[in-house]
A and B are shown apart, each in its own frame.
Chain A
Amino acid sequence: MTGIVSVQNLRKTYPGGLHALKGINLEIEEGEILALLGPNGAGKTTLISTICGISKITEGKITVGGMDIVTEYRKARSMIGLVPQEITLEPFETVINSVRFSRGLFGKPKNEAYLDQVLESLSLLDKKDARVITLSGGMKRRVLIAKALSHEPRVLFLDEPTAGVDVELRKDMWNTVRKLKQQGVTIILTTHYIEEAEAIADRIGVINGGEILLVEDKNALMARMGKKKIRIDLMEAANKIPNKLKSYDLDLAKDGKALTYTYDTKSERTGITGLLNDLQAAGMQMRDVQTQQSSLEDIFVGLVQESST
């Protein structure tokens, strides 16, 4: 089974000789939200641009909805909507004309009712006849989304849709994305914000140096990382863990001066309060307490560092 978007052994070398993508394999399932995480220069935009036909394939094969993006580019591209990373819009044109242009360009007949609906869903209806230049940055980004949705795509690429967008608007954007998913649109978004991936993605992919390091179901990933640790520094070194505390998942440091408690953030009770009480009852005095979170961020940073060395 190939996904709605299938990338096979994709290599991309820019004219200067830079290898931006080094053999990418990626299957995107219909109807899912896939978040691509990666540091600056990882190749996220290059990957998206290549799938969308903006940059040429050096080697490999890409299909969208089963259509090869080179030989059947018309069918493939008409299924794709793209919101680019940079805000690029005709400044003097009105919002509605920019959106109409996109719809026409993708070969779709006029449908004003549909376009109004798209603008409405992005809270842009009142700006319909405003010139693009008079809009705020966040509004412009939504116009870009409206343009990408104007031709009823099955797959939507959002390249850092929330970069430079305030918290409020970011939440709105997430809701918009969720709504689109409900309508059956497959969504691929890139982001630098791990919370964003956590908040809306079904699967998470990590890319660095032109290679995909991991693509995994978000929940599985979170479960793997949903553990937190507390490090308790003791006033006086202990030689063993007291019996009273045996029920906790504790590790004693070699020098006996610190305890590490691992717990599941997802469970109802973390047991922290109990542990702290029991520690006191056992007569151990605490010098300091630190929590260490193994979050998506840790895994991400770990992966990226590993791949860079």
Chain B
Amino acid sequence: MNFQGVRAIYTFEMARFFRTLLQSFLSPVISTSLYFVVFGTALASRIETVDGIEYAAFIVPGLIMLTVMTQSIANASFGIYFPKFIGTVYELFSAPVNFLEIVVGYVGAAATKSLIIGLIILATAFLFVDLDIQHPMAMLCFLVLTCLSFSLLGFIIGIWAGNFEQLNLVPLLVVTPLVFLGGSFYSISMLPQIWQTVSLFNPVVYLISGFRWAFFGQADVSIGLSLGAIGLFTLGCMTFIWWIFKTGWRIRS
């Protein structure tokens, strides 16, 4: 195992993050605050509680998840796509590092960034609402797992993308709808029966539900199912990455 190599990738990627510190932190914080103002304040006057939870508090886990998922994908896909785009990727392939180490370096850095952002949003949320997190450890675990699994997904997208349009296509067409329809701002039980059934095919529902359980001790689907779903999702991404590794798909000619 080339630990120095992993560390080099990780620190280099983190440096990119800190170089654009303001923009890295500020944009998610501002957009989250806007969500709070719009949904938490405006809608809260209409919807007072969901499942007995104050609406402004209810949306906190969904909001964090929303940001963490999109940030993980954006960071990880850009992290590996950019070297491909500017050509510096040659160095990775000529270095004594294997694909696993490359993945650990890039995905680790992307996951760290989105974890930091997630925690900052959580801190921002405390400014708007009173939160009493029921299962802090579970909350943290869920957050870390989500950062990791979506960074893995982002890494795959970054490897796959042949241009900047494609890089934005998957997040735009697939991920954002799934995340918005995954119950970030509502409980699945608020939907008509048919849409409740459809929603159960959306993997994001399980993640948000599980995360919400960690906050409030209650959820749309059982916590076991949520854990199973995120486990399955992570496994799926890892298998796909392993396959990329084996075949050199989109990497080495």
Which residues 87-109 in B have Cβ within 8 Å of A in the complex? 87-88, 90-97
Q: Is B217 an interface residue (CB 8 A)?
A: no
In the complex with contacts A86-B87, A88-B87, A108-B4 CB distance below 8 A? yes
Q: Is A84 an interface residue (CB 8 A)?
A: yes
In the complex with contacts A15-B253, A56-B253, A107-B96 CB distance below 8 A? yes
A100: chain B residues within 8 A (beta carbon) = 8
B83: chain A residues within 8 A (beta carbon) = 90
Contact A104–B253 (Cβ < 8 Å)? no
B4: chain A residues within 8 A (beta carbon) = 104-109
* Assembled-state Cα–Cα distance A305/B174 (Å): 55
A101: chain B residues within 8 A (beta carbon) = 8-9, 11-12
Q: Is A54 an interface residue (CB 8 A)?
A: yes
Q: Is A137 an interface residue (CB 8 A)?
A: no
Contact B86–A105 (Cβ < 8 Å)? no
Instruction: Classify chain B: how many residues form its interface, as a range.
Output: 20 to 34
Contact A106–B88 (Cβ < 8 Å)? no
In the complex with contacts A77-B94, A97-B15, A54-B252 CB distance below 8 A? yes
Contact B91–A77 (Cβ < 8 Å)? no
* Assembled-state Cα–Cα distance A102/B95 (Å): 8
A142: chain B residues within 8 A (beta carbon) = none
In the complex with contacts A14-B253, A100-B8, A107-B2, A77-B95 CB distance below 8 A? yes
Q: Is A147 an interface residue (CB 8 A)?
A: yes
Contact B253–A105 (Cβ < 8 Å)? no
Contact B252–A90 (Cβ < 8 Å)? no
Q: Is A11 an interface residue (CB 8 A)?
A: no
Contact B86–A77 (Cβ < 8 Å)? no
* Assembled-state Cα–Cα distance A14/B253 (Å): 7
A97: chain B residues within 8 A (beta carbon) = 12, 15
Contact of B86 among A49, A56, A88 (CB under 8 A): A88
> A78, A90, A107 — which one has the most chain B CB atoms within 10 A of its CB?
A107
Contact of B12 among A14, A49, A93, A109 (CB under 8 A): A93
A105: chain B residues within 8 A (beta carbon) = 4-5, 8-9, 91-92, 95, 97
Contact A88–B5 (Cβ < 8 Å)? no
Which residues 63-103 in B have Cβ within 8 Å of A in the complex? 83, 86-88, 90-97
Consensus secondary structure, chain B interface: helix
A103: chain B residues within 8 A (beta carbon) = 8
A77: chain B residues within 8 A (beta carbon) = 94-96
Contact A54–B90 (Cβ < 8 Å)? yes
Q: Is A212 an interface residue (CB 8 A)?
A: no
B88: chain A residues within 8 A (beta carbon) = 88-90
In the complex with contacts A89-B88, A93-B15, A53-B94 CB distance below 8 A? yes
* Closest chain B CB from A143 CB (angstroms): 12
* Closest chain B CB from A267 CB (angstroms): 46
* Assembled-state Cα–Cα distance A103/B8 (Å): 8
* Closest chain A CB from B187 CB (angstroms): 44
A73: chain B residues within 8 A (beta carbon) = 96
Q: Is A91 an interface residue (CB 8 A)?
A: yes
* Assembled-state Cα–Cα distance A36/B145 (Å): 51
User: Can you name the residue of chain B whose Cβ is closest to the Cβ of A15?
Assistant: B253
A80: chain B residues within 8 A (beta carbon) = 94
Q: Is A287 an interface residue (CB 8 A)?
A: no
Q: Is B162 an interface residue (CB 8 A)?
A: no
Q: Is A74 an interface residue (CB 8 A)?
A: yes
B5: chain A residues within 8 A (beta carbon) = 104-107
* Closest chain B CB from A79 CB (angstroms): 9
B11: chain A residues within 8 A (beta carbon) = 101, 104
A193: chain B residues within 8 A (beta carbon) = none
* Closest chain A CB from B23 CB (angstroms): 13
* Assembled-state Cα–Cα distance A90/B79 (Å): 12
In the complex with contacts A97-B12, A100-B8, A106-B95 CB distance below 8 A? yes
Query: C-beta contact mask, A15-48 vs B, less than 8 Å → 1, else 0?
Result: 1000000000000000000000000000000000
B8: chain A residues within 8 A (beta carbon) = 100-105
Q: Is B246 an interface residue (CB 8 A)?
A: no
B94: chain A residues within 8 A (beta carbon) = 52-54, 77, 80, 82
Contact A88–B96 (Cβ < 8 Å)? no
> B3, B8, B91, B248 — which one has the most chain A CB atoms within 10 A of its CB?
B91
* Assembled-state Cα–Cα distance A89/B91 (Å): 10
Q: Is B46 an interface residue (CB 8 A)?
A: no
* Closest chain B CB from A64 CB (angstroms): 11
Listed from nearest, the 9 A-B pairs whose CB atoms lie closest are A104-B8, A88-B87, A74-B96, A77-B96, A52-B94, A105-B95, A107-B2, A54-B93, A78-B96
**8 A-B pairs with C-beta separation under 8 A:** A56-B252, A56-B253, A77-B94, A77-B96, A91-B86, A92-B19, A101-B8, A107-B97
Residues on A close to B: CB < 8 A?
14-15, 49, 52-56, 73-78, 80, 82, 84, 86, 88-93, 97, 100-109, 147
Q: A86-B87, A89-B88, A107-B97 are in contact. List 13 more A-B contacts (CB 8 A).
A: A53-B93, A54-B252, A77-B96, A78-B96, A82-B94, A88-B87, A88-B90, A93-B16, A101-B8, A102-B95, A105-B8, A106-B4, A107-B5
